[in-house]
Amino acid sequence: MSNWGDVEAKIERHECGCWTWTGAPLACNVFRYVAEAFGTPLPTGQLYRMPGCVLVNECVNPSHIGTSDDFMRAVQRQLEDASEQPKTPTELKLTSRDSRFLKSLRIGWD
């Protein structure tokens, strides 16, 4: 197993949370190499990019790679989070132009 310090020196971390490999090409799978050095070996079988992974195929961040079950759980969490968002705006600010337009309509309220 590789030393994480040596591996980390060949990784560029991006603001979006993705990591890219900047080292020389490897004879092995770079995603598995990074994950094992990081201490989170990837499961065998088909792997998927997690929702929100911006750099997709270039990303070697182990937390952005998972099984189909991991992917489905991540999508479910996103759907649950989206359903908890308020359906209507909590605050509406009118510009002075908006105010002038509304006043020009001369709507009478009974």
In a domain, residue 70? The reply is: yes
* Number of domains the chain contains: 1
Task: Indicate whether 105 belongs to any domain.
Answer: no
31 inside domain: yes
**Residue 68 lies in domain:** 4-88
Predicted TM-score (pTM) above 0.75: no
Q: Is 50 contained in some domain? A: yes
Q: Is residue 73 part of a domain?
A: yes
**Alpha-carbon separation of residue 52 from 3, 78, 90, 103 (angstroms):** 28, 10, 26, 44
> By C-alpha distance, which of 43, 48, 56 is closest to 72?
48
pLDDT one-digit tens code per residue, 66-101? 999 999 998 898 888 877 766 666 677 888 888 888
Q: Is residue 84 part of a domain?
A: yes
CA dihedral 96, 99, 103, 107 (to 10 degrees): 170
- Helical ranges in the chain per DSSP H: 4-8, 30-38, 68-83, 96-104
Task: Tell me whether residue 99 is in a domain.
Answer: no
* Domain annotation covers residue 107: no
